[in-house]
Amino acid sequence: MVRLTRSPLLWVSLLVVLAAALLPLWVSAYLLGVLTAAYYFGVFAMAWDLLFGFAGEVNFGPTFLIGVGAYTAAILNGQQGVPLPLCVIAGAGAALLGGMLLAVPALRLRGPYFGLVTLVAVLLLQNAIVIFAHVTGGEIGMTVPDVLSIDASTNYWIALGFLVVCAILLFGLSRSSVGLILQASGQDAIEAEALGFNVTKHKIAAFCISAVFSGTAGAMLIFYMGTASVDTVIDIAIGVQVIIAAVLGGRRTILGAVLGAVFLILATEFLRPLGQLNTFVVSAVALAVILFFPDGLLGYALHRGERE
């Protein structure tokens, strides 16, 4: 605990959060909106990093978990009029179930096979949304009656607060004993087993944790935007952006994922005048990062000189 207060990371983070909290004082509502979305994205990316960076499971369809959480919340609120907080919790619960569903094949398949399975999950969800259009609004999407707030600043602070809480929880988890065991399970399952750890149990736990955070953030995002659609929470392109954010920021750093997400959303916004090509540029940059800085920007900064 004492070492914690002396850690430079803690002070830098506090400063950053403080600066971020003060932004609404001199930044336009439009930019606040962009950042709000970026913060929810940051939670998506952190949840992904926990699963991949720590448990070693590559999820090519994070939007499966996000989408399940988002749409559950949206449908409950829009169709049944359930109050907002309960919808968010329900969304988290539904995502948890989804996470457990994904965990089953994950434990039996090797890396790339499982990656493909996660992609298939997204496709299935996408098709399900379209088929049950009378409930989900299909490809057009649906609106939700309740929203978090109408005020841009309030939304911003809610998102920031949510991000900070999730970051503390996820980062704390990554540095905890459980996080150490998760890392061992992901890096060397046989060694972890030989040391007495039930790798299966821990991997399922990692899926569940990733799912809960993804689903909750997905639900929150819906209530921020006031709408839910395939394009915003399910499309593979969104999933790819989550992965890019985490990889850009640096795998296994958790906090790097936030940096990557903010950078990515801001960059996409900045490149908007390019029209469609902004996706091209972003993908190209991400590809370059994979080729030249596979540890990501934060990872590279932290591990420089520590390279194997």
Contacts with another protein by CB under 8 A lie at: 58, 60, 104-105, 108-109, 111-113, 115-117, 119-120, 123-124, 127, 130-131, 172-173, 176-178, 180-181, 183-184, 187-188, 190-199, 201-202, 205, 236-237, 240, 243-244, 247, 252, 275-277, 279-280, 283-284, 286-287, 290-291, 293-295, 306-308
For the bound state, the minimum distance from the C-beta of residue 260 to another protein, rounded and expressed in Å, comes to 14
User: Shortest CA distance to 91 belongs to which of 221, 261, 241?
Assistant: 221
For the bound state, the minimum distance from the C-beta of residue 25 to another protein, rounded and expressed in Å, comes to 37
Cβ closer to another protein: 27 or 173?
173
Reading the block at residue 84, the tokens are 């907002």
For the bound state, the minimum distance from the C-beta of residue 206 to another protein, rounded and expressed in Å, comes to 10
The answer to whether 50 and 210 are in contact (CB under 8 A) is yes
Question: How buried is 302 (Cβ within 10 angstroms: 0-12 exposed, 13-18 middle, 19+ buried)?
Answer: middle
For the bound state, the minimum distance from the C-beta of residue 299 to another protein, rounded and expressed in Å, comes to 10
Beta partners for 228?
142
Distance CA 212, CA 68 (A): 10
For the bound state, the minimum distance from the C-beta of residue 119 to another protein, rounded and expressed in Å, comes to 7
Cβ closer to another protein: 23 or 97?
97
Task: Identify the residue whose tokens are 């919340």.
Answer: 73
Phi, psi of 265 (to 5 degrees): -65, -45
Task: Identify the residue whose tokens are 């403080």.
Answer: 18
Phi, psi of 20 (to 5 degrees): -65, -40
Helices 199-225 and 29-49, axial angle in degrees (round to 10): 170
Cβ closer to another protein: 147 or 302?
302
Distance CA 215, CA 212 (A): 5
For the bound state, the minimum distance from the C-beta of residue 227 to another protein, rounded and expressed in Å, comes to 22
Cβ closer to another protein: 26 or 292?
292
For the bound state, the minimum distance from the C-beta of residue 113 to another protein, rounded and expressed in Å, comes to 7
CA end-to-end distance (rounded Å), the chain: 31
For the bound state, the minimum distance from the C-beta of residue 198 to another protein, rounded and expressed in Å, comes to 5
Cβ closer to another protein: 18 or 177?
177
Cβ closer to another protein: 124 or 165?
124
The answer to whether 38 and 208 are in contact (CB under 8 A) is no
Cβ closer to another protein: 4 or 150?
4
Beta partners for 143?
227
β strands within 6-129, DSSP E: none
Cβ closer to another protein: 160 or 246?
246
Q: What angle do CA 281, 286, 292 make, to 5 degrees?
A: 125
